Structure 1
Amino acid sequence: MAPKKVVVVEVELNSDNVERIDFDSKHTLLDWDVIVFFPDIANMLNHSESYQGKISLNENDSFRLKERCEHWRREIKLALDAGRTVICYLEELKEIFVDTGQRNYSGTGKNRHTTRLVSLYSNYESLPVSLKPRNASGSSMKLSPKASVLSQYWSEFGGESTFEVTLHGSPPTASITTKAGDQVVGGIYRTTSGGNFVTLPMLTFYQDDFFSGGDFNETAKVFAEKIIHSWLGIDASLRSETELTPAPQWAEGGVYLLHAEASLKAKLLEAEQRLTEAQKQKEEAADSLLEAGSLRALLYEKGAPLEKAIIRALTALGFEAESYKDAESEFDVVFRSAEGRLLGEAEGKDNKPINIEKLRQLSMNIHEDLARDEVNTQAKPVLFGNGYRLQAPSERGQQFTDKCVSSAKSSGTSLVATTDLFRVAKYVSDSDDTAFAALCRAALLQASGMVAFPNEPVTLQHPIQPLTASPFSNDGIGEEFATDGA
């Protein structure tokens, strides 16, 4: 028999006998026999605001977190339905506010204010079992008599374990409880399909003596092999008790079908159809979201993706824009409006500014373009640059070299930092301000050297308004209540 395949989500072990994947990933769990999961969202809470003493995520980070939690909720459910063993270490409950995507508006004109609506969310939304955790900590615990399959694990790691939450949701089949008060702090949840969801109190997986010179050492390796062996032991013990015999084909015939099964099968088919339709709607919404956010490629892309984002931005500013290619010439973008015709080249650099070489190529393209029979007037040359593209825009140096800027001034070439193009294109896309777009077109046509786009009008701030909802359920958003803002 092939050895069992084990995967750990988020935590890393010093072993070649286990695979690790990040919480912020989209891996399926069906490739493994034993899944060890940590509902740890700490790495997804960077650069966040604070509201009512809790972290408050912006719209983009909220979507990303909820998407990942829903992914793991679905994957764990599928793994359990497929008869897998899922071991979940019960971390501290982390409650945060997430953006619901809903807005309230008040006032008119310059006095109009937008209020962002938020709801409470937690790391335990990533689990398919309603645990209803409450933060509480301690180390005095015991196994219930029905939890004998955990005896070997508990004898080795029970003394090192600490609970960080108590559970108040669906009772487990077998429990780990506090010694005083019998509060549930872990246990085993069995499924009818043969899968087992095992919840365990926390262990310290990154102990100080596991590292030498910043790397895992032999002590970490011994610990890793020991705990992997224990996980496999839990899986083997559970399977020996719950192994199901696949129903033979004859047993599923109509003569043996119960009346309740027939109606439930019909309900299952209806639910699967709704799920298929919902998945299709989700995919369409995801595609639309990707398209709507494609302008952000101006901030970090190079090559063809950068060129496509430039065309989209120019179109937003009121140009007719497209790439051009024939048997003799290939230009990144040719764009025109009532004010004039322009030809552009695009360049992205990882950690340096755009140099004069691309300007020379642009000059050659201008002459090639003018040599075409259908072109009577020389196009305005424009060089789009995304220098230092791997750094945040606020941390970047000058986008073009001094030599490139000097040459552009003498040749009448417009130099456009794609970060600046993003700023104005985003504003026009959001506001549909045609007068502002006309000013941007004029800036492109009139510049020699760096293009100075106009400053967009001041945007409105978005105070936060929460929507009450249980952080432990998945029933959606609850009753709305107002505040004075963040």
Structure 2
Amino acid sequence: MRVLSLDCWWPNPDVDFYRFGAPESIFDYDVVIWDPVNAIETYDVQPFQATFQGLRQLSEDESPRLMSDLSRRKQEFRQFVEMGRALIILMAPEVMVNVFTGERNISGTGKNQKVVHLTKKTDLMKALPISGNLFPGVGVEITAQDPGFGKLLRKYRDRWCYRAILEDFPGQSLATVKGTSKAVAAVAYTKSGGMILMLPDLVSPDADGESEDEAPKPDQALVDLLAWVKELHTPSEELPDWAKEFKFEEDITRSQEIAELEERRNELLLQIDQKRKEQAESDDWKLLVTAQGATLEKQVALAFQILGFHVTEGQDRRKDLHLEWNGKKVVVEVKGVAKSASEKNAAQLEKWVSEETISTGVTPKGLLVVNAWKDLPLLERSDPAFPDQMLPFCHNRDHCLMTGMQLLGMVRDCLIDPGKSEAICESILTTVGVIRGWDDPTRTFAITGKRAIAETRATVSES
């Protein structure tokens, strides 16, 4: 079995290596492996303008060469699989590049004449002899659906990485993103017995420890991959339709068991999706102690709704939030900061209070919600969120001050026991200065992972 690798640089003396743009034909080979991401790097960029609109800008000389290579390889790939051979693609989403079209716009005359050379975007993935949609997505959590690929995945777990998610593709899925039905590997066969195998990226092996004088050792992962490809490319002959009507007794029982298992699997997948949705909603509450800006404001608004306030956003961004509870009005300023709150935060809040008073004739309660020390883990936030120098200003103006951690603690209490809502709302409206309580992360969170292990060891050593 003769193997050609286009733009994949694995050490193996039994594999020929060429660039996508090399003149060598692929028809001398039984198997071709192509990495389109590496291919784009083999073309020279435009001097002094390596990129345009975020994409590689090929030079005027390289642009027509790429277009010619793309047209040639596309035709070769199609004919190659029609001849019954195997094409392996290390999948990626759009592999876009800017090329010069050869056209130009001329404006002005004489010394003021300006010449603009026109470019267009080109996708190397157009060379594939197969249709389907590829969406960006990078990750390493892969679940095999094919036993052969499963062995490769387990043996070389640290080298497989998907770069694209397949949608609406012909053929059969070989692997998915773990816990989902999103395909990241698939195989399709042509009527002539050709095979198009779409795989995640197989990262090149680490060459550390090898002497420059030594011949590189063959990459065993590539050897095993090609052995599996050979097995995959020689499927057993399909039975005619009439033969499928004749079943053994155990086949009937097995078919029923398969149907029942499929139904259970679908039920389990629905349950998993629901649990993932619940987990995502639960994780969103942690934004109260991590986020800033509009993301934090949105979660704070949801938190006050849970507590029982009627919430509206400030008009024209004149204030972050407006709350109302039992006829009492509250103006809220929300901040996420890397350090402590500051006097200017309180001054901004007081500005909103004054504007609301002038506008409505009713003085609202001022509430400052600050996610202070947002970049530090919760148990390392030992410094005050509200420094002493800002407290007199806030006391004199009847402001209530609370942290994102305190608001999170209140929300968790209300989610567990909605009956606590009224007391919490009353506490917010009557507090002047820093509100007390709900500031202990260990009361809100079950500490897990490395931190829990470290604290357990500390407790054991103390005893």
TM-score, normalised to structure 2's length? 0.47
Computing the radius of gyration from Cα coordinates, the structure with the larger value is 2
Greater RCO structure (CA 8 Å; 6+ sep): 1
